[in-house]
Amino acid sequence: MILAKEQLKKIYVGKTKDVYEYDDAQVVLYTKDETTGWWKEAEDGKKYFVEDPGGNEVGPAVEGMGAKNLNASDYYFKLFASQGLANHYVQGDLDNNLMLVKKGEVIGKGLECIVRFFAFGSLLRRFPDAYLEGQAVCNFFETTLKDDEANDPVVSKEELVALGALTAEQYDEVQKLSFQAADVIREDLAEIGLTLVDIKFEMGIVDGEIMLIDEVSAGVMRVARGNVASENILNEEELADILVDRATQQRVLQAMLNFNTGECCF
């Protein structure tokens, strides 16, 4: 797929992605070089940026980050599809930071689904006496509403149902799909010696079906090399480079397998 976004109508401007019209059933996402996290102030009054997948603020652009994030999304969405996990991805133009996706509806203003394997980030800030940094947590799932002014509030199943955003059955589907997708990524990263600490997915509804939407990249997951501790958490640029290498290696292996079996390569 080769698309020129200049020929498409921009319909939404986001922090790390812009959305363009394509046709009645699909839209095009353009991945930008911006990162997310928090701006902080040093003792001397100077501001500095801390990358954090849970952050709501936009940081400095990092050249090539959009291309790397699209590369990871292309890899993981295809991996999800191969394992029967519903997602909106159609195809990508990796040279131009564009991906064609199924048009759907967001849940509320946007529903983020967080799967945690270890206590870190906002979980420690909210419950400082309940968890130790890096403590393993079992089957920890929570949902937040995308709302910068309210700092992405945590919302329960009962609240989502009361708000009319989801039915109880749909919430259960969202939770199941989140756990399944997180397990796929955790196992994939474990093969290269990395530990998935936590990850957030965005969910939407396409033709009445709950699906993984948005992106799956370094900007939505926290990953450690070694023990789960602050000093071992990879920053977004480091992780983005690792995910590109992983995606490239797996594509080469798949191409070799397809060649040996006489199948066409993707």
pLDDT along the chain (266 residues), means of 10: 77 93 95 90 89 83 94 97 97 94 91 97 94 94 91 94 95 98 98 98 95 96 96 96 96 77 58
Provide the β-strand partners of residue 17: 31
99 within 8 A of 28, measured Cβ to Cβ: yes
CA dist list (Å): 156 to 49, 166, 168: 31, 11, 11
Per-residue pLDDT at 264: 56
DSSP letter string over 180-239?
HHHHHHHHHHHTTT-EEEEEEEEEEEETTEEEEES--SGGGEEEESSSSSGGGBPPHHHH
The CATH code of the domain at 5-102 is 3.30.200.20
DSSP summary character for residue 7: G
Angle at 185 between CA 179 and CA 191, to 5 degrees: 135
The CATH class of 105-242 is alpha beta
- What's the distance, CA 105 to chain centroid? 17
Torsion angle of the four alpha carbons 181, 140, 243, 214, in this order, in degrees rounded to the nearest 10: 60
Sign of the dihedral through C-alpha 219, 90, 195, 111: positive
Per-residue pLDDT at 143: 97
60 within 8 A of 47, measured Cβ to Cβ: no
The residue type of 107 is I
Break the chain into its structural domains and give their ranges: 5-102, 105-242
